[in-house]
Amino acid sequence: MSAKTPIGRLLADPEARAAINKRFPVLLQSKAVKSGMADRMTLRSLQRFKPKIFSDASLAAIDADFAQMANN
């Protein structure tokens, strides 16, 4: 999993969902996510809409979180 994985797939995984909630809690509250409209989008694709939230640094951090999950 990575910031290039579709959001719907990330949210279906409890560990990935927890990582997203930790780094981007506002995302889980958005109408697009709650309705499923964002399921096919990626965290990386959200950067163009909310660059301050989904900065290169924050996306690198969540990618590190996902990599650590894969190694456990």
Residue 72: the pLDDT is 62
Q: Which two tokens stand for residue 13?
A: 């995984």
CA–CA gap between residue 72 and residue 64 (Å, rounded): 13
Could you read off the pLDDT of 1-48 as tens digits, one per residue? 999 999 999 999 999 999 999 999 999 999 999 999 999 999 999 999
Q: Is 6 helix (H, G, I), strand (E, B) or coil?
A: strand
Residue 65: the pLDDT is 96
Q: What is the pTM of this model?
A: 0.88
Could you read off the pLDDT of 44-69 as tens digits, one per residue? 999 999 999 999 999 999 999 999 98
